[in-house]
Chain A
């Protein structure tokens, strides 16, 4: 039996809605003066209550699910509260409570960065908070040093403090967006639902933001370290969050002796193989397959693709991680045996958002004669778990095979709402729409336009990928069928096309 590759399941520390039936052990009272934190500092660690509305990607015309959760945040400046993006994602109402006070203060999101799971909030009226001391952002804590996690996790209503040591500093996945990797610090203090967004403190300064845990392991909490936090705060200085930038290359370690010989590298020469370059990415036209990348901004890149920063070996992406859109990166390469120096200008790469979970947006869709069409993205994929090989392939290779260049959206037929006009359509659900009346489908808007033309054709012929037998809807019955399915299935809005 072949074993499929093993992926460690990263579990999101989602704030829990209601307090579950938990065993409550009476806790010993905190010694009054042992902590470096004063009452005032506890005050700057706030409890966030979010009422959310989560869109329904299975029936996108519906209002979605109303729910909510609890998270933690902390004051970092005048009317600036930092928390996790996942604490406030899809929020319709946000309330902030200060330690020891029953008052709930309405708040709103100023900036939200889903790719690094951070958000900045402000309250409508900052007056009641004026006496509080904002927390200072510190540095990356050393391995094995002690940290404290403070927040409002499940198991009670009042503030909670846990203690642990830094057990690992690594590049890891941020599970909120499901597609981004940044620096992560692992600690062995308990981080539980509700701790999300709370500060991890060392020497009275913020060493990170508690944000996720690992369900399959004990005592592994993860925090967002301060370089990521600082980058977020710098990015929003211009009043707009621009997202992370990426080189857009795949590298392959140069460990194999034959490989090294082929590229003329001796045993100690630096360099990693450029194995693929993302089409239209920042390095498209700058780097080529089979270039050897030897240095990035003057830092030598080793055979594994690592560089040395502050005495620590880190992934070469760490250089790019701290850069912003529009910044330039200097790359030293060996191409066909000749050393070259090239530079690329970093920029965000919108097609890669195909793989990032979206929050706070209304799902796009259109309906036609009972057929429901939706564009493929991570949210849709999660809601429908597609099994069709073609659809899975289009999703997986959307970026690396440059499918995005000619198909802005991969339009999926996600549902057929039974109606006399479509009752015999079967086997098409869960496939990608290839063409409508002979025209290749390239976006949801275009598909919608093709299905709602000025002059009604005799037939609407809809071809799905991998299925030869087309869906045929007689033109003169289409409008009536659309109307009928909307009424029968309670579809209040027949389409939502805007991003």
Chain B
């Protein structure tokens, strides 16, 4: 009962404020943390609804798209008719459109820049009456970094276009991965109680009438709202300015903490230093080029002491994880200074930050249609994390072991390969008689040629042996080698097209 009254009150507040004065309405509610305190008009004029239709590709039948999904969110209107939202709203989209607050105007949109790692995307109208759509709308400006304890408001819209504003308090900051797995960025953890409403997949978060960040997730249980920090948004926007989007830099190392006192004694670390133990260096990374070695202990980055757990003291936020010093405060091409201990001796190292190098198995393949080849009924694909994740929630135990091994130890498979090609399934055809059960086999060679990726596989299949047979060699098997009749498989290929496979390959 009480809840119901509260909702009604909130409506009353909103509509009253809509007219003019916008101070806190004292009659509204005893619990003023839910009271509207920002000019609601700016909610309606500075946010736009984003409607996305998303489609991913089928893992089992890579020529097919899966059933479309819809997502609706609120984007922050920026200058020059640009709209900021999260990458999650703009990834794998088949169609994306903008809609104004009261749903009277719509316009198709396009993605002009997207960063899957930082979970940000910038949209622009694509054809249509741009002037008409943006008439009367007022862009937001990006605000400056907040402090722990600051009050912010999260903007939502009711179905009818009425604003819904939640006041919340920044409780902490952390480095969080919100979309592409394994990429961590500065995020505010904000305490506040949100309600469900339309277009709320992601929402603008406002402080002092300026855009502070975007909501990336909300936990109803803990009432914690994760908000992308303005520093990251600023870096993203700056990168988009020259039309050539580069992305956030990386150092290319994996680390382990040095909390364990025995480990510290063994590393000859004195009590007054912290330090991060370098466990892995990615090939062709900034770290490799700068000469950082496995087993080094990083004790300073940009003259900031790194603690035993990897935290440094940030002037604004207090304790922050070291990776923010790389990814959140620099851009590609910047130099950073590191102090490392190698066998107990201090060394100064300067690293030039770069984008992470190409990997055998990319951390994500958003917006990329899977590459494949169908030959005589065999379906060959390039292994991606997306493919393995299609095995479901428990993919790390359910997916085929030999393919999981590639993800966990890619260095064992990198030689001679750009990507890892494997036989993902076998369609029963006259050419694949007896091979129906073969699947998830890693391909080494076809017709004697080493297979580095799908294009090289396609090329290798163009030269069958003199006996009219293709020879396919797998990494493990059994069987390790199988044969496919060239003429029969070509006939099957034609038949498969007749049966509705739109393309036999995608490279």
Residue positions of A touching B, CB distance < 8 A: 1-2, 4, 250, 252-259, 261-262, 273, 275-276, 289-290, 387, 389-390, 392-393, 396, 421, 423-425, 459, 461, 466-470, 472-474, 477
B263:A424 contact, CB within 8 angstroms: yes
Q: A262-B483, A389-B409 are in contact. List 10 more A-B contacts (CB 8 A).
A: A1-B60, A2-B60, A256-B484, A276-B478, A390-B409, A425-B260, A468-B256, A470-B263, A472-B263, A474-B265
Q: Return chain A residues, CB-CB under 8 Å to B266.
A: 459, 461, 470, 472
A262:B467 contact, CB within 8 angstroms: yes
A461 to B295, CA, bound (A): 14
**Nearest 7 A/B pairs, CB to CB:** A255-B434, A424-B260, A275-B478, A468-B279, A258-B485, A275-B479, A256-B434
Is B397 positioned at the interface, with any CB of A under 8 Å from its CB? yes
Please tell me which stretch of B170-178, B219-227, B398-406 contacts chain A, meaning at least 4 of its Cβ atoms lie within 8 angstroms of it. Answer: B398-406
B467:A261 contact, CB within 8 angstroms: yes
Question: What is the predominant secondary structure among interface residues of chain B facing chain A?
Answer: mixed
A393:B405 contact, CB within 8 angstroms: yes
Closest to A256 in B: B434
A1:B467 contact, CB within 8 angstroms: no
B256:A256 contact, CB within 8 angstroms: no
A371 nearest CB across to chain B (Å)? 13
Which residue, A262, A425, A459, A467, has most C-beta atoms of chain B within 10 A? A262
Question: What is the predominant secondary structure among interface residues of chain A facing chain B?
Answer: mixed
Partner of B59, one of A1, A259, A466: A1
B75 nearest CB across to chain A (Å)? 31
A259:B482 contact, CB within 8 angstroms: yes
Partner of B280, one of A250, A387, A468: A468
A252:B479 contact, CB within 8 angstroms: yes
B405:A389 contact, CB within 8 angstroms: yes
Q: Return chain A residues, CB-CB under 8 Å to B467.
A: 261-262
A466 to B411, CA, bound (A): 12
Is B435 positioned at the interface, with any CB of A under 8 Å from its CB? yes
Show 14 residue pairs from A and B whose CB-CB distance is below 8 angstroms, ordered by the A residue: A2-B391, A252-B478, A255-B434, A256-B433, A256-B435, A256-B482, A389-B407, A390-B408, A392-B401, A424-B259, A459-B262, A469-B263, A472-B262, A472-B265
Partner of B483, one of A4, A256, A473: A256
Considering the complex, which residues of chain B in the window 397-425 have a beta carbon less than 8 Å from any beta carbon of chain A? Answer: 397-398, 401, 404-405, 407-409
B256:A469 contact, CB within 8 angstroms: yes
A390 to B412, CA, bound (A): 12
Is B396 positioned at the interface, with any CB of A under 8 Å from its CB? yes
Closest to B424 in A: A2
B488:A257 contact, CB within 8 angstroms: yes
Partner of B481, one of A257, A290, A387: A290
Instruction: Tell me the count of chain B residues lying within 8 A, CB to CB, of chain A.
Output: 45
Considering the complex, which residues of chain B in the window 429-472 have a beta carbon less than 8 Å from any beta carbon of chain A? Answer: 431-435, 467, 469-470
B408:A258 contact, CB within 8 angstroms: no
A258:B484 contact, CB within 8 angstroms: yes
A461 nearest CB across to chain B (Å)? 7
Known: A250-B478, A390-B408, A425-B260. A4 touches B60 (CB 8 A): no
Is B333 positioned at the interface, with any CB of A under 8 Å from its CB? no
Is B364 positioned at the interface, with any CB of A under 8 Å from its CB? no
Closest to A1 in B: B390
A466 to B405, CA, bound (A): 11
Known: A255-B433, A262-B467, A262-B483. A2 touches B390 (CB 8 A): yes
Q: What mask results when residues 173 to 211 of chain B are scored 1 for a CB within 8 Å of chain A, else 0?
A: 000000000000000000000000000000000000000
B469:A262 contact, CB within 8 angstroms: yes
B201 nearest CB across to chain A (Å)? 23
Is B392 positioned at the interface, with any CB of A under 8 Å from its CB? yes
Q: What mask results when residues 366 to 410 of chain B are scored 1 for a CB within 8 Å of chain A, else 0?
A: 000000000000000000000000111000111001001101110
A399 nearest CB across to chain B (Å)? 13
B480:A276 contact, CB within 8 angstroms: yes
Is B294 positioned at the interface, with any CB of A under 8 Å from its CB? yes
Partner of A389, one of B294, B404, B432, B477: B404
B262:A421 contact, CB within 8 angstroms: yes
A4:B398 contact, CB within 8 angstroms: yes
Q: Return chain B residues, CB-CB under 8 Å to A258.
A: 431, 469-470, 483-485, 488
A396 to B392, CA, bound (A): 22
Which residue, A255, A393, A424, has most C-beta atoms of chain B within 10 A? A424
Q: Return chain B residues, CB-CB under 8 Å to A467.
A: 279
A335 nearest CB across to chain B (Å)? 15
A474 to B469, CA, bound (A): 62
A387:B483 contact, CB within 8 angstroms: no
A157 to B261, CA, bound (A): 63
A174 to B418, CA, bound (A): 44
Closest to B400 in A: A4
